[in-house]
Amino acid sequence: MAGRNGRTVRDLRRANRTVVLQRLYFDGPLSRFELGPATGLSSGSVSNVVADLVADGLVEEAGSVDSDGGRPRTLLRVAPGSGHMIGVDVGETRVRVELFDLALNELARAERPLTPQRYDVEVIVDHIRAGIAEVLTSADIAPDRLLGVGIGVPGIVERTADRGAVVHGQTIGWDAVPLEALLRTGSHLPGTVPYFIDNGAKTLGQAEMWFGAGRGARNALVVLFGSGVGACLVTPEAEYGRAVEWGHLTVRVRGRRCRCGALGCLEAYAGAESLLARWGEEGGRPPADTDEETALTAMLAAAYPAGGEKADPVALAVLEETAEYLGAGLSDLINLFQPERILIGGWAGLQLGTRFLPAVRRHAMSYALRHPAEKVTIDLGRLGPDAVTVGAAVLPLADFFARGGRRAEPVPEGPPPAWRTALAERAPQ
C-alpha cells in the first residue's frame, strides 16, 4: 500500500535498511543504541532493521563496549565477506582489474599492459574479461557472489535503453562503442551480475569523496592528470559526481593540435603525452621505446637531478610551463564552480606530486578571481594509483546500498536485438 507521499511499506523498509547500512559502513562499528541518533530511526525500527540485516548475513557483531551502569553494548559492523565487487580501470598504459570484498579490502588484482595506440575495442574487451576471470580464480570467489563490475573508461558514457552503456571516446577513437553489450556477449558471468560503466575521472572522484581527501566536502573537484586530463565535479545536486571534459577547454587559440582533433585544448599542453612530446620538440631527449610512466620519471629526473648534477634546462622549462597551464586551467574551474577543494590524482599527477604542486597552486591563484580563490584548497588525492579501480568498485557498492542491501534483479540472458545489430555491424566481413 502506498502512503500519501507515494511511498510503499517496501520503499520505507528499503530506505531504513539503506540508512543503517551506510551508517555502519562509514561510521561503524556502532551499537544499536548509537544507531538511533545516527540514523534518526526509532529504537524499534533499528532493532527490526538490524535483525533483518543480520539474518541476511550483511551485518555481524564486532565486539562490545561498556555502557553507563548497564550491560555491555554489542557493536555491529557490515560483514566484509557478505559481498564482492570488481573495479576496472581502462587506463592509458594498462587495464587494471581488482577484486574487493564489501569493506573494499583488495583480494586480488590483474593487469594487462597497453602498447601505444592499442585502444582496439576487441583488445580492451578481452583484457577486461581475462582480468575478471583471473581475479575470481585467484581469490576462489564464485561469480554469482559479485554485486557488480564497475568500469572506469576514458570518454563520455551514455546509457541507452536498448544497448546499455555506450562509450564516446573521441581521443581514443571510440565512436559510440556498445561496451556493455560487448562484455555481456560471451561473458562467463551470470546475468544477475550488473555492469556499471562510467568516466574514469568520475570514478576517481567517487573514490576520493568517499574514502580519500574529499571526505566532508560538499563542493569539490577531483582532477585526473594522466596522458590526458579530466575532472569530476561533486556538489549537493550531484553527490555522486559529474564528469567534466576539462581537458578540452581551449587555452590557446590556434594552438597545438589535441588528440581530440581540436586546436589549443588544455590537454594538448598539460597532458603527460603532450608534455613528453613538447620535451622532444624543444630539443630534449625523451627515452625511446618505453611507456609514458617511465618516460615521465626520466623527465622529472632530468629536470630535478639528485646529487648536484646539472638540470636539463629544456625538461625544466617544459615542466614549469605545464605547471602554469594546469594552474590556469584550475583557475577556470575555480571561477566557474567555486569549489571548497580541488584534488589532483591520476598517475601523472601522483608522479609529479608535491614537487609540482606549489607552482600549480601559485598559478591557479594568480589567474582566478580573488574571492573564490581565497576559499579553495588545492591538494593531491590520497588514494594513490588504485583510486580509479576503487571508485569503479564503489559504483556497484552504491547501487547495493541504494537497494537496501538487496542484489540487483537478473538481466535478460543474451543481448537485446539492438545490441545484436550493433555487434553484427562490428563483426569482420
**Considering Cα of 409, then 414, then 416, then 422, what sign does the dihedral take?**
positive
Q: What is the pLDDT of residues 282-336, one digit of tens each?
A: 988 888 878 888 899 999 999 988 877 888 999 999 999 999 999 999 999 999 9
Reference 92, options 73, 112, 77; nearest CA is 112
Q: Can you read off the three cell numbers belonging to residue 27?
A: 561510521
Q: Can you read off the three cell numbers belonging to residue 212?
A: 580519500
In what side-by-side order are the strands of the sheet with 341-345?
238-244, 229-235, 220-225, 341-345, 377-380
User: What pLDDT, on the 0 to 100 scale, is given for residue 427?
Assistant: 41
Contact 396, 357 (CB under 8 A): no
What is the C-alpha separation between 218 and 81, in angstroms, rounded?
31
Ranking 13-27, 91-105, 107-121, 384-398 by mean pLDDT, the lowest is 107-121
pLDDT band, residue 238 (cuts 50/70/90): confident
Q: Cis ω on the peptide bond leading into residue 29 (within 30° of 0)?
A: yes
CB count in 10 Å sphere of residue 233? 22
What is the C-alpha separation between 38 and 72, in angstroms, rounded?
19
Strand 146-153 relative to strand 195-199, pairing: parallel
pTM for the full model? 0.85
Reference 83, options 148, 152, 16; nearest CA is 148
User: What pLDDT, on the 0 to 100 scale, is given for residue 187?
Assistant: 82
30 membership: H or E segment, kind and range: strand 30-31
Reference 297, options 357, 253, 351; nearest CA is 351
Q: At residue 241, what are phi and psi to the nearest 5 degrees?
A: 90, 155
Q: DSSP letter string over 126-149?
A: HHHHHHHHHHHHHHT--GGGEEEE
Q: What is the pLDDT of residues 156-191, one digit of tens each?
A: 999 988 888 999 988 888 999 999 999 988 788 888
Residue 423, pLDDT above cutoff 50: no
Residue 429, pLDDT above cutoff 60: no
